[in-house]
Structure formats: C-alpha cells, structure tokens
Amino acid sequence: MCRQTPRLAQSGTRDPCRVRSGAEKGLTAAAPWRGSFSLRVLLEYGHLDLELSTGEDVELVLAVFNYAEGSGTLDAQLQVTLPPEVELVSGEASIQLSVPEGGATRHALRLRPKALGSFLLEASASSGAFSDALRKPLLVKPEGVPQRETKSVVIDLTSSASAEAVLALSLPAEAVEGSARLQVSAVGDLLGPTISGLERLLQIPTGCGEQNMITLAPNVYVAKYLLATAKLTPDLRQRVVNNMVVGYGRQLTYRHDDGSFSAFGKSDESGSTWLTAFVLRVFAEVHGTGLVAVDTSILAQAASFLIGLQQADGSFRSVGTVIHQEMMGGTSGSPTLALSAFVTSALSRASVEVPNLSAPGLANALTSAAAYLSSASGPSDYTVLLRAQALGLAGQWTSDKIASEVLAISSTADGKRFWTSASEGRSAAKDVEMTGYGILALTSAGRLTEAFQAVRWLLERRSDTGGFVSTQDTVVALNALGSYATAAGQNVDLSVQVGNGGSFQETLQINTANMDVLQSFTPAVATGANEIAVSASGSGVALVSASLRYNMPDTVAIPCYDVEVEWYSTAVQACSQPRSSCTPAAGAMSIISVGLFTGYAASVSSLQSLKDDKVVKRWDLGDGTVDLYLQELSTTGKTCVQFNVTQEFQVWNVQPALSAVYEYYAPEARGERLASFAAKELTEDVASLPGIRPAKEGGEGDQTQASAASTRLQLGLCVLSSAMLHAALVHW
C-alpha cells in the first residue's frame, strides 16, 4: 500500500496525493540511474513516453527521495539541464531542496519546446557524498494531420544509354510550418526499399491473424530472393530470421485445436478456410528456406483441415470469416471459384516445399481441385488471375496458356502493364494485389518482358517504407517482385544525377557492389511545386523515388465516413456513419482509430471489456492512438464505441487529436476528424453513456480524481517502501 506521510515535502504548489505503482502507474527512473541508492531523483510517470505536439507545454515533476538511514533532513541540490530548444516557462532549473529522512520532496517545472525533434532532458540531485541523475527524451512532433506523397520512376537502361525523368511533388501553402520533409532515394535492387524497411512496411495496424503475416511473409520472400542471388549477408540473415521467428510464433496464437487458423484465434467460433490456406502456404515457404525450424505437423494439420473441406466437385467449402472480401470473388464473382483457386495454390506450394507432408489424401485433393478449376471460369478478372496461378502451380496449364489468359485481361499505359478492378469497384489495394498475381503468372510462364512492364507499374506505387497499401496486397506484390528479380537477374552500372536546378544537385553511383544499398538524402523543400529532375547514364535498372511528408491543419480528403468524437472527464466516445458519397463494403473489417490528447491514456481494463463483450474483435495501443478492430461497420446507421481514459500528466495548450475510420483492405474508404480539446466536453457527466464502465475508485488503471470544475488529475507523491520502489524500477 502506498501511503502519504506528514514527512512529504514539496517545492511546488500542488497538493500531494497518492501515486500508484505497478504495471501502469508509478514513479520510475527515466534512464539507468547512477550514484548511491541513498539519494534518488525520479520522474513522475517517467515510464511513459514524453511526446508533445508543437504549441503544447508540459509539466515536468521530479521527486528527490532520501533513503539514507540516520541522515536526518538532507539539503539536496536539484539541477535540471535543458537543451536550447526547450524553454523553461515556470519553475526553477536549479534549486536546493530539503528532503526529510525516509521521505521525498518534489519539484515541478513547466516546459515549452521551441522546435521539432527529439531532445534530452537531464536532472541530477546531490547532497554531500550522495548523488543521482536521470535522463528523459522529449519528442516534439508537428500538430495537424499527417500527409505523404511519393513519386517514383524506374530507370531502364537495358536497351538505351541514357534516360531522363521528372518527379513532381507539391507542398501546400497551408501546410503546418516546419512539418515538411523531402527525401530522395535511389537503389539498383528492386527489393532494396523493402529490405531496408522490413520492420515497418505498413503505416496501418497489423494486429489480427491475417495482418500479423506482414511480419512473416515479406521476410520469407526477401530471404528466398537473397538466397537465390547469394546476397544473404550475416546481418541480413539475422534480421530476416528474427522477424520470421517472431511472426511464426505469434501466428500460432491464432491457431485452433483442429489445426485451422482464424483472424482472432479461439475467440472466433471456427477456423477460416481462407486464412488457413494463407498460413499454410507461407509456413511451407518458411520451411523451404531452411532458415527457421517449422513443425511440419502443424502444416499437416492445416492441410488436412483444408482437405476435409473439399466437396464432391473438387471445390473447397468456405467456413469461418473471410475478412479479405476480394477472396469472395469481388462484387459479382464466384466465391467458391476464387477461394478454391487460393486453397489449391496453397496446397500445391505446401506439397512442393514439404515433399513428405503427412496429409492423407493430398495428392487426390490436388487432382480433383485442378479438374474443378480447369472446367470452371471466373466472371471477375481477380478470379481469372487466381485461377491461372493455381493451375500453373498444379502443372495443369502450359506457360503459353497462362500467359494468354493473364495478358488478355491486362491494361497498358506509358509502357507499363497492370491489372485493374475498375469495373468491380476501384480499390488501390486490389489493383496492387491483382498486378502482383499477374507478375507471378508471367514470371512463371517465362514472359519476363511483359512481367517487367508490370514491375515498373508496381514499383511506382510502393510507399517510402517499402510496403504498399494493406497486408494482402503487400504480401502478393513483394512475392511477385522477389520472383521476378530472381528470374531476371540484375546487373547494373549507373550514374544517376538528381537535382532541382538550384538548391541541390547529387550524383549517385549504382553498381553491382552497392545495388542493394538504398542511397538517400534530404534536400530542402519549398512551398508550392518541387520538381526533382532525374537523369541517368550507363546500363541496368534502378528505382529513383521522392517522398514528401508534411502536416495539414485540418483534414483534406473527401470522407466516406462521418466521424464524431466526444470527450468526457473519464471517457471518450467515437462514432462513424457512412456518407452517401461512398458505398461501404458489407462485411469489410474496419478500424476505428481514436486519437488521444497529449497526457491522456486509455484504460486497458476498459478496452478489454469491449473485447470481452464482443463490441470489438481486438484492440491495440498505437502511437498516441487506440486502434479498435471491428468485424464490420454499419452500412446505414452509426457505429459507436466508448472506453475510459485517464490523464497521466499536465499539458497546457493541448492540440487537437486526429481520429479516423477506414476499411482495412480499402484504406481510401475512410473518414477523419480532428477533435479539439474542450474543457466543457471533458467535464460533462459520462455515467449515461452506453457501453461505458465508469472508473472505479481504487481500480487498477482506472483511478481518477476528477471534478466538474477541473479535468486535471492531481498527481502527487508519496513515500514508497524500498520494495515498491524496486518494483517500479524493475518495471521501467
């Protein structure tokens, strides 16, 4: 029990109150401490990340503890050292404190960052032979709504000696001052950006059983490519192996007792045909690399589960939830045909990667499935591509047949080839996925010229982090790029000049020795047009990209969803409703991402209650957000969620927080809302909100001290026992 004593002294003006220690709350050191244990300087709630938006002030509360037995009251000198970019608004940076024996004295300062970036705050306390010190990083980010724009060009000098291109980007005049950052990069390896960004391929949550595969599948395809091209260095080997081990182990948590997998594991009623096939294929390919030990009995059980779903005509029955709706054949396609093609491809790949796979009836199942696919036809282009890949892997179609079917439904423009879903409801993620399947089919058919046309289209849509739009399209696209790069081989000797005709000019040399190194630089960016001129000479292929990031004061996109966010003293409610301008996809898994005000944290127990009550399928804590996974949103009315929050530390001039709602596999179908910090909303009564469990006094993680006059939690200090202090330090 943490208790106040009369011996607690303080130099600030706030009344002391109890603090909580344990998994969520408490006093902790902000960095490894040095000095004696007799005198300690700690940062209140030091285990929390200290992140602010420009314009915000923060209260830094330090406590000096006296554990020196028999010392009496110590006169301790507390010194706070701030970088030039952080202004001291109130409080004293250097002060002498009287610290009673067995007690603590606290001191508060108000800080105001004056620049963007990461800065180090330092504090030290000393009294005679006793001393202690800590360091705490402070991250200052721009306010507003993050935006990004990436333009890429493939330099192809396989049949010519020189090439020129222009990458045109634009920075709006309304962009938040100081938020813009321009990065220009070039690489000779088609998978170079992906290899560089393996741990951060996507900018969306990856928390469910399908999305977790983004931590596994790309590493498999990168490993296969590096092994085939003898480029797997010890450092790269360690990275991809570590990522595969983590992804493999995490994926097993979504496994059912019958060997199947589903998006949310055993909280789902049954395994999913589609996800089980996806996992089987990727696990088999992990096994095929020889880099990670995979339990083949897990593969055998998954294969047996799928074989058990085969019907008399050779097709496969769908069970469980298919959160990737395109697998159901698009808006007008045949779900049985698309899904059967996907399952057949997975079983075929598993039989190749694990020749002695112990799954009774596997050979007969593949024969029957191939017969079904050969006699069926798909009304959607997406289904045609899946069917072509499946029959190619099963050895039922010749290379010419595959190429003929796939090329017949492709589109071309500016020398690039792609497959589009325009006639079936346009989706950027779906177009990327379809083009990835097209490249895989053409590469397997030996049609590398046409495949490269599609590779050019695909590369120009890759993000600056190395991924694409969502998980499934990223997995398929990276598999396609790896397969093509392995088949085509890469020899490059290029000199690339990049500049804007004024403030910067760079020359990059790309050759066989450094082709897999992502060379980049960050030139200055101007308001308005920013044209990056690219010229190259030599031989080979390279990718040049320019990525512009900036923040806007408000949301700019035309929304598909209206988003409402209401804050109360101890809770937040977020609602979404589709607009008439968009048609939400029925059954599409969606994310409600609720932005938290600086200094606030969501109650873990409250979020877990949402999951336990099946309001949401899963929740994750993001970077200043709470990401809630819903099986689907209402296509007509409102969808609302509520959870409890607590204020962890004091912030002044709190900036608006961005909340968003979007469909996971079509993130362009979204809505955004910047919620402003309004005291009248924060002090309203929350008891009547549906679904809210009011914070219980004394409850772990939910305890608050709120009033109608103020939403600020009175965070105080107490004397901690040695055991509790040790526990807090261990937690940190």
Task: Assess whether 607 and 675 both reside in one domain.
Answer: yes
Tens-place pLDDT, residues 373-421: 999 876 789 889 999 999 988 888 899 999 999 999 999 998 899 999 7
Task: Assess whether 131 and 25 both reside in one domain.
Answer: yes
DSSP states of 171-183 as a string? E-TTSPTT--EEE
* Distance separating alpha carbons of residues 439 and 422, to the nearest angstrom: 19
For residue 193, what is the enclosing H or E element?
Answer: helix 192-196
Provide the CATH number for the domain around residue 103: 2.60.40.10
CB atoms within 10 A of CB 721: 12
User: Among the three residues 489, 507, 525, which one is the final residue of a domain in this structure?
Assistant: 489
Instruction: Map 638-693 to HEC letters.
Output: CEEEEEEEEECCCEECCCCEEEEEEECCEEEEEEEEEECCCHHHHCCCCCCCCCCC
Q: Are strands 50-53 and 130-141 parallel, antiparallel or unpaired?
A: parallel
Asked, for residue 634, whether it belongs to a domain, the answer is yes
pTM given for the model = 0.76
Which range is least confidently modeled, 518-522, 710-714, 724-728? 710-714
Length of the chain: 732
Asked, for residue 198, whether it belongs to a domain, the answer is no
CB 508 within 8 A of CB 496: yes
Task: Assess whether 481 and 533 both reside in one domain.
Answer: no
DSSP states of 58-114 as a string? EEEEEEEEE--TT--SEEEEEEEE--TTEEEEES-SEEEEEE-TT-EEEEEEEEEE-
CB 564 within 8 A of CB 682: no
Asked, for residue 565, whether it belongs to a domain, the answer is yes
pLDDT classification of 588: cutoffs 50, 70, 90: confident
CB 188 within 8 A of CB 515: yes
Task: Assess whether 418 and 521 both reside in one domain.
Answer: no
Which residues make beta-bridge pairs with 108?
61
Query: What is the average pLDDT across 259-267?
Result: 89
Query: What is the average pLDDT across 206-234?
Result: 84
Task: Assess whether 570 and 609 both reside in one domain.
Answer: yes
- Listed in sequence order, the residues at least 6 apart from 671 whose beta carbon sits closer than 8 Å to its beta carbon are 559, 560, 561, 562, 563, 576, 579, 660, 661, 662
pLDDT classification of 430: cutoffs 50, 70, 90: confident
Tens-place pLDDT, residues 321-355: 766 555 544 433 457 898 999 999 999 999 999 99
For residue 721, pLDDT over 80 is answered with no
User: Among the three residues 446, 468, 489, which one is the final residue of a domain in this structure?
Assistant: 489
Q: Where are the alpha helices (DSSP H) in 292-427?
A: 296-307, 335-353, 362-375, 381-393, 399-408
Task: Assess whether 432 and 523 both reside in one domain.
Answer: no
* Distance separating alpha carbons of residues 724 and 22, to the nearest angstrom: 8
Q: Which domain holds residue 427?
A: 398-489
* Distance separating alpha carbons of residues 613 and 629, to the nearest angstrom: 13
Query: What is the average pLDDT across 282-286?
Result: 95
pLDDT classification of 209: cutoffs 50, 70, 90: confident
More confident residue, 27 or 585: 585
Task: Assess whether 668 and 566 both reside in one domain.
Answer: yes
Asked, for residue 339, whether it belongs to a domain, the answer is no
How does DSSP classify residue 255?
Answer: B
Task: Name the amino acid, one letter, at 280.
Answer: L
Asked, for residue 250, whether it belongs to a domain, the answer is no
CB 259 within 8 A of CB 297: no
Closest CA to 211 of 629, 586, 594, 560: 629
- pLDDT at res. 455: 94
Tens-place pLDDT, residues 464-510: 888 888 878 888 999 999 999 999 887 899 999 999 877 788 999 99
Q: How many domains does the chain have?
A: 4
- pLDDT at res. 29: 39
Q: Average pLDDT, whole number, for the chain?
A: 82
